[in-house]
């Protein structure tokens, strides 16, 4: 039996035959930096086989990781979708347009009800006007804040952050 020589060199065709690949495939691996030539069309056999095995193992680990990551993302999305369906079925979620319409309706009723407050408080016309002006000022401020919050909701942003400029 012949003794193994770790520094033994082989040609492209021999290396391809040993690895069960084509000459072109060997050249592609060399271009990728996986295999190193020692001379034109020559490769150290032991180093090339080790490099090939290492490359294949890394590729397999990367492939499994990518598949695992993709499966995990799919499971996360399925759980998210199920959670949203459950929340909707339990009336924990409200479409944005319905939420905005409900708040708009309540503010409209509040505006109407507050319009009669000055007459309930006093018969003095000048005092009524001052009360009406104060109520209008507050309601206009509420309307501005509501408009900003509605726009934020429709854009998918936090409506509580939409009015920070007014609070500053």
Cβ neighbours of residue 34 closer than 8 Å, sequence gap 6 or more: 51, 52, 55
Rounded Cα distance between 168 and 159, Å, is: 16
Question: What pLDDT is attached to residue 132?
Answer: 92
For the segment 1-8, the average pLDDT, to the nearest whole number, is: 70
**53 found inside a domain:** yes
In terms of domains, do 30 and 69 share one?
A: yes
Per the CB < 8 A criterion, the answer to whether 15 and 45 are in contact is yes
In terms of domains, do 67 and 133 share one?
A: no
> Residues 48-89: pLDDT tens digits?
999 988 988 888 877 777 777 778 888 889 999 998 888 888
29 CB-contact burial (10 Å; exposed 0-12 / middle 13-18 / buried 19+): buried
In terms of domains, do 111 and 51 share one?
A: no
Query: How does DSSP assign 91-102, residue by residue?
Result: T----HHHHHHH
Rounded Cα distance between 52 and 46, Å, is: 10
> Residues 111-129: pLDDT tens digits?
899 999 999 999 999 999 9
**79 found inside a domain:** yes
In terms of domains, do 69 and 102 share one?
A: no
For residue 132, the enclosing domain spans: 94-167
Structure pTM? 0.42
In terms of domains, do 99 and 160 share one?
A: yes
Rounded Cα distance between 4 and 61, Å, is: 31
Count of domains for the chain = 2
């Amino acid at each position: 039996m012949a003794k193994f020589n770790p520094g033994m060199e082989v040609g492209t065709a021999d290396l391809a035959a040993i690895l069960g690949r084509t000459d072109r495939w060997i050249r592609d691996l060399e271009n990728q930096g996986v295999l190193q030539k020692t001379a034109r069309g020559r490769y150290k056999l032991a180093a090339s086989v080790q490099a090939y095995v290492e490359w294949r193992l890394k590729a397999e680990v990367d492939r499994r990781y990518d598949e695992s990551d993709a499966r995990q993302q799919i499971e996360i999305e399925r759980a998210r979708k199920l959670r949203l369906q459950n929340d909707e079925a339990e009336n924990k979620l409200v479409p944005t347009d319905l939420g905005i319409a409900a708040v708009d309706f309540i503010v409209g009723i509040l505006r109407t009800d507050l319009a009669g407050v000055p007459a309930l408080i006093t018969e003095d016309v000048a005092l009524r006007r001052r009360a009406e002006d104060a109520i209008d000022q507050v309601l206009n401020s509420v309307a501005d804040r509501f408009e900003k919050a509605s726009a934020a909701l429709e854009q998918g942003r936090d409506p509580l952050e939409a009015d920070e400029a007014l609070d500053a």
